Structure 1
Amino acid sequence: QFGRTEVIDNTLNPDFVRKFIMDYFFEERENLRFDFYDVDSKSPNLSKHDFLGQMFCTLGEIVGSQGSRLEKSITGIPGKKCGTVIVTAEELSCCRDSVLMQFCANKLDKKDFFGKSDPFLVFHRSNEDGSFTICHKTEVVKNTLNPVWQAFKISVRALCNGDYDRTIKVEVYDWDRDGSHDFIGEFTTSYRELSRGQSQFNVYEVINPKKKGKKKKYINSGTVTLLSFLIETEVSFLDYIKGGTQINFTVAIDFTASNGNPSQPTSLHYMNPYQLNAYGMALKAVGEIIQDYDSDKMFPALGFGARLPPDGRVSHEFALNGNPQNPYCHGIDGVMEAYYRSLKCVQLYGPTNFAPVINHVARYASSVKDGSQYFVLLIITDGVISDMAQTKESIVNVS
């Protein structure tokens, strides 16, 4: 299961808001299956709900349809028409901004016979073919013609796909319990207009086209005002690196007996003079990439689950270079050298305890309070964790 939409109550024609971000590979066939259910309870177990049908397609089929908009029949229940589903796809822009917006309205049309209105807003972004796709719904504010909606956060990609001049249509509805919400009116704007913030430019007349066409004296069905507009930029890992954040890379290697005798070819620690063993390959593959982001190329290298000389005590946190006060190795080649040296002088034992090496790195990480350093612990292991409860606690404590 890749994901689930939100639940829309009491309707045969739902328009789902939730979007799903997927990787698209032109050269691969990416099969998709959409299953539809009528929700009967709050249980996440799909067997507790009524199956309405399913639709099969490929991601390429959606992308390759006119306007990247695929309409296809829902099947899966013999002898029954299950309806149709429309799926659209759009390539995401590289924009990583989000916006926090808040709106209010004034003098909206009264739609309820015994009360005022229960208004909510529905935001749509325009597509390249001129159609609109829903991208956000506000909450319902009960029994008022002058609602103030809660501030909400939405990514700029979802709102306009990074195109600041793309039309955004906002519809105003009066909520009804039976799902047949009453249309109050609509207005259009754009990200560029909204970004002006609270001003006379962001007070919008709510227009009902049917009323406007019938009534000569019709002015509007109320107004909607932007109260606040705050841009939040999502910082990427690369932004931190560019900003000077230092990467601290630590490796911890499993020396438990379950890996097999290092003198035997079947062992993951087999000391083959002609090629790297499984642990050596893993170390080299990850380490050679991450060392480019570590300025001093000095890596603490630890081992766990072995008996150490000279007294044979079991350790779950020992330095591969034999120096507990300074467990640093120079570059991945230095880590590899210390690893092979340790194999020759320790006895593989057990159990497989992760918590000690996690706590080791956590002690160093906790001493850095300004966010200038990022700590990465690579644990290379072959088996089941023996101290799962302690490991979970250590991870939670360091998070």
Structure 2
Amino acid sequence: MSNIYESAEATLGFISSPCLTKVELRVACRGISDRDALSKPDPCVVLKMQSHGQWFEVDRTEVIRSSSSPVFSKVFLVDYYFEEVQRLRYELHDISSGNNGLRDADFLGAMECTLGQIVSQRKLTKALLKQGNTAGKSSITVTAEELSGNDDYVELSFSARKLDDKDFFSKSDPFLEIFRINDDGTESLVHRTETVMNNLSPVWKSFKVSLNTLCSSDHDRELKCTVWDWDSNGKHDFIGEFQTTFKEMRAEQEGKQIQWECINPKYQMKKKNYRNSGVVILNHCKIIRMYSFLEYIMGGCQIQFTVAIDFTASNGDPRNSCSLHYIHPYQPNEYLKALVAVGEICQDYDSDKMFPAFGFGALIPPDFKVSHDFAVNFDEDNPECAGIQGVVEAYQNCLPKIQLYGPTNIAPIIQKVASSASEEMHTKEAMEYFILLILTDGVITDMADTREAIVHASHLPMSVIIVGVGNADFTDMQILDGDDGILRSPKGEPVLRDIVQFVPFKDFKHASPAALAKSVLAEVPNQVVDYYNAKGIKPKCMSDYESTRAFSP
């Protein structure tokens, strides 16, 4: 077993290399071919990064409806390492209406480059390729900007009053775009609000944006705001615009009412009695201190790591060398490889190194009834094992004592960990964050209950990692990973945040444990940060500090 422990320790290498800086990447496309004579594509760009020969999804943009030349408001944030060749792949997909997932999407083309190329040129434009050939006249432009040291965010909320009506048979469908004016006079899209249908006095949802993205942390930098009337054909009607600065917005914090006249320059020139095309109001402006993953960890937050192992009959008889649970004297099986690769990383963030380990889908002694959340060490009062080695030993010891059975139900184990996470939530402190690693060989049979359990868990300080072991078709499991659309409970309630990462182990059979660990754990730091920051919970050792900084005028 020592060989997999040594290789798992090597996985720490991907977080030990010092990050030179963080870079923001903005994306726009041009010349995307129409679907047909009557409809334009609904584009979305997925950013992937190569590691250990595998492509991993980093993030994706929003979907822009009916657009051949989209400018995406989503900003990708990546770490830049000067000493590494960081290969990036941008994939353009046409997302079918009513579905934000990639499963039914049309692949329109891709562009590969390195982060170094983008950083050195600051603005990189390349043709999109499809099966090695150019995808029509379509191209993608990526713009890079170094993120300054200021990690503050601002929460903004806008509404409007008496906007111009641009529609004949109904009222306008307005949305607001905010642009930052750069030093060279170019504009960078900062945020695009949702569209409020059939309303001349819309109230748009509040949003958070970093001060670096909004104004490059320069409070006097000019911002241009534009209001549009949304049209389904993508040819939106211009309503009006105005200029402002973040310094002007900050006055709202002092109790002043901040509003701007929305001006259409053409109307202003042609119409003698023209006053404005409506008024845009700033309802809320709050500066928020955003804490990092390391600040929470260094503030005393512990990662509580729990393992759940599939003992259903589809794994095969453990005594048979073809079984996924077969214990080979020299070669660890896939369950052990996945367990050690992920567990070795997590145990460094848990001071007592005691890990609960559970099994599901087996008939267990003494009465051999099926259980979906039994302690692998058979001590229901204390299911914890000493270190990852303790989990491995408990797993190996329990195999001869149980009978593999079924079905593959994982909702009970998610609910069990959620119960502990719920207790932590009520402390309102950043002391314990729970990670549940589920190792399973097939598609689960309690999908409805599992979706319900995940939606509930998305409100709690916990994340769920699912590794699919073996060669089964795991396509249906992708629904649980919020990267591909929004997961909803059977009642239609959406997850509050994306907490599930699903990875098929077969994709990493010929890669190092580092590749698997990096893939399944990459989202955890952001999930920890998103949970505590959204709750307004500061790192423990910083609880005496103010959450907002004082700004000089």
With the length of structure 2 as denominator, give the TM-score of the two structures: 0.52
Residues 111 and 126 in structure 2, CA contact (< 8 A), matched pair in contact too: no
- 1:6 is matched with 64
Distance 1:267 1:166, change over 3 A: farther
Match of 2:422 among 366, 375, 389: 366
Aligned to 1:344, the other structure's residue is in SS state helix
Deviations 1:304-341 (A, max 9, x none): 22233344333322222221122121211211121111
Deviations 1:141-164 (A, max 9, x none): 9999xx897574241257436433
Once residues 389 and 378 of structure 1 are traced to their aligned partners in structure 2, the CA distance between those partners, rounded to angstroms, is 20
Structure 1 position 302, deviation (Å) = 1.4
Once residues 420 and 209 of structure 2 are traced to their aligned partners in structure 1, the CA distance between those partners, rounded to angstroms, is 35
Structure 1 position 342, deviation (Å) = 0.8
2:452 is the counterpart of 1:396: no
Residues 123 and 171 in structure 1, CA contact (< 8 A), matched pair in contact too: yes
- 1:381 is matched with 440
Once residues 281 and 420 of structure 2 are traced to their aligned partners in structure 1, the CA distance between those partners, rounded to angstroms, is 50
Structure 1 position 236, deviation (Å) = 4.5
Once residues 73 and 318 of structure 1 are traced to their aligned partners in structure 2, the CA distance between those partners, rounded to angstroms, is 51
- 1:343 is matched with 399
Once residues 252 and 446 of structure 2 are traced to their aligned partners in structure 1, the CA distance between those partners, rounded to angstroms, is 53
Aligned to 1:276, the other structure's residue is in SS state coil
Alignment of 1:10-29 (within 5 A): 16=71, 18-21=73-76, 27=85
Distance 1:270 1:111, change over 3 A: closer
Match of 1:265 among 321, 325, 339: 321
Aligned to 1:90, the other structure's residue is in SS state strand
Residues 198 and 226 in structure 1, CA contact (< 8 A), matched pair in contact too: no
Q: For 1:362, give the aligned amino acid.
A: A
Alignment of 1:268-307 (within 5 A): 268-307=324-363
Aligned to 2:144, the other structure's residue is in SS state coil
Once residues 74 and 255 of structure 1 are traced to their aligned partners in structure 2, the CA distance between those partners, rounded to angstroms, is 44
Structure 1 position 230, deviation (Å) = 0.8
Alignment of 1:164-243 (within 5 A): 164-165=218-219, 167-171=221-225, 186-189=242-245, 191=246, 194-195=249-250, 197=252, 228-243=284-299
Residues 126 and 166 in structure 1, CA contact (< 8 A), matched pair in contact too: no
Residues 247 and 374 in structure 1, CA contact (< 8 A), matched pair in contact too: yes
Distance 1:58 1:289, change over 3 A: closer
Structure 1 position 184, deviation (Å) = 6.3
Residues 364 and 401 in structure 2, CA contact (< 8 A), matched pair in contact too: yes
2:218 is the counterpart of 1:160: no
Deviations 1:224-273 (A, max 9, x none): 88664211344444443344333322211112222222233322222223
Once residues 228 and 317 of structure 2 are traced to their aligned partners in structure 1, the CA distance between those partners, rounded to angstroms, is 73
Q: For 2:118, give the aligned amino acid.
A: V
Q: For 2:346, give the aligned amino acid.
A: I
Residues 111 and 174 in structure 1, CA contact (< 8 A), matched pair in contact too: no
Distance 1:263 1:91, change over 3 A: farther
Aligned to 1:367, the other structure's residue is in SS state helix
Aligned residues: 374
Q: For 2:143, give the aligned amino acid.
A: A
Structure 1 position 68, deviation (Å) = 0.8
Distance 1:198 1:170, change over 3 A: farther
Greater relative contact order structure (CA < 8 Å, 6+ sep): 2
- 2:507 is matched with none
Once residues 375 and 88 of structure 1 are traced to their aligned partners in structure 2, the CA distance between those partners, rounded to angstroms, is 36
Greater Cα shift, 252-261 or 133-142: 133-142
Structure 1 position 175, deviation (Å) = 6.4
Once residues 176 and 273 of structure 1 are traced to their aligned partners in structure 2, the CA distance between those partners, rounded to angstroms, is 65
- 1:312 is matched with 368
Once residues 259 and 204 of structure 1 are traced to their aligned partners in structure 2, the CA distance between those partners, rounded to angstroms, is 65
Greater Cα shift, 221-230 or 349-358: 221-230
Distance 1:130 1:386, change over 3 A: same
Once residues 114 and 191 of structure 2 are traced to their aligned partners in structure 1, the CA distance between those partners, rounded to angstroms, is 26
Structure 1 position 183, deviation (Å) = 8.2
Aligned to 2:409, the other structure's residue is in SS state coil
Q: For 2:452, give the aligned amino acid.
A: E
Q: Kindly name which structure, 1 or 2, has the bigger radius of gyration based on alpha carbons.
A: 1
Aligned identity (percent) is 39
Once residues 453 and 348 of structure 2 are traced to their aligned partners in structure 1, the CA distance between those partners, rounded to angstroms, is 28
Once residues 333 and 89 of structure 1 are traced to their aligned partners in structure 2, the CA distance between those partners, rounded to angstroms, is 46
Deviations 1:50-75 (A, max 9, x none): x9xx7764455982785515387999
Aligned to 1:241, the other structure's residue is in SS state helix
Residues 122 and 172 in structure 1, CA contact (< 8 A), matched pair in contact too: yes
- 2:7 is matched with none
- Structure 2, gaps ≥5 residues long: 1-43, 47-60, 131-135, 167-171, 270-275, 459-553
Deviations 1:210-235 (A, max 9, x none): 9999xxxxxx9999886642113444
Alignment of 1:59-70 (within 5 A): 59-60=113-114, 63=118, 67-68=122-123, 70=125
Once residues 300 and 124 of structure 2 are traced to their aligned partners in structure 1, the CA distance between those partners, rounded to angstroms, is 44
